[in-house]
Amino acid sequence: MTAVSRLRPAFVETFPATMDQGVLYISISYRTCGHLCGCGCGEEVITPLSPAQWSFTFNGETVSLAPSVGNWALPCRSHYWIREGEIHWSRRYSDTEIAANRERDRRRLDEASAAAAPTPLARLRRRLDRWRR
């Protein structure tokens, strides 16, 4: 396979068994996007949609995905942005930079999980609200 410069959006319930090169699959139901790596290596890239991970913007024709896609666990270690359906290549990150990014991502997920977890006071308020009904 060869590198691609564009990804066209395909809104789906679930991803196909075999993804097509040049397609960004978007499952709103499962809050996930998926595509074959932009470098052409053929590896599947899955990007979960959440405030602490990725978000997408659809302008009626093209999709942008943020933040960048860093495929550092893949042999190709590709890194790119998807903006209005176009792939914009980023520079290569060093092992130190990759480790720092992974740590930052872990912290973001931990913070998002902690914020989503109800506090004891919030649980008590919910119980009282149900009791009052």
| Cis peptide bond prior to 67, omega within 30° of 0 | yes
**pTM value?**
0.79
Residues 6+ apart with CB under 8 A from 97: none
pLDDT digits (tens, 9 = 90+) for 88-112: 999 888 989 889 988 988 888 777 7
- C-alpha torsion sign, points 113, 116, 118, 122: positive
pLDDT, tens digit, for every residue of 25-62? Answer: 999 999 999 999 999 999 999 999 988 889 999 999 99
pLDDT band at 22 (very low <50, low <70, confident <90, very high): very high
Helix (H) or strand (E) holding 104: helix 95-116
In one-letter notation, the amino acid at residue 17 is A
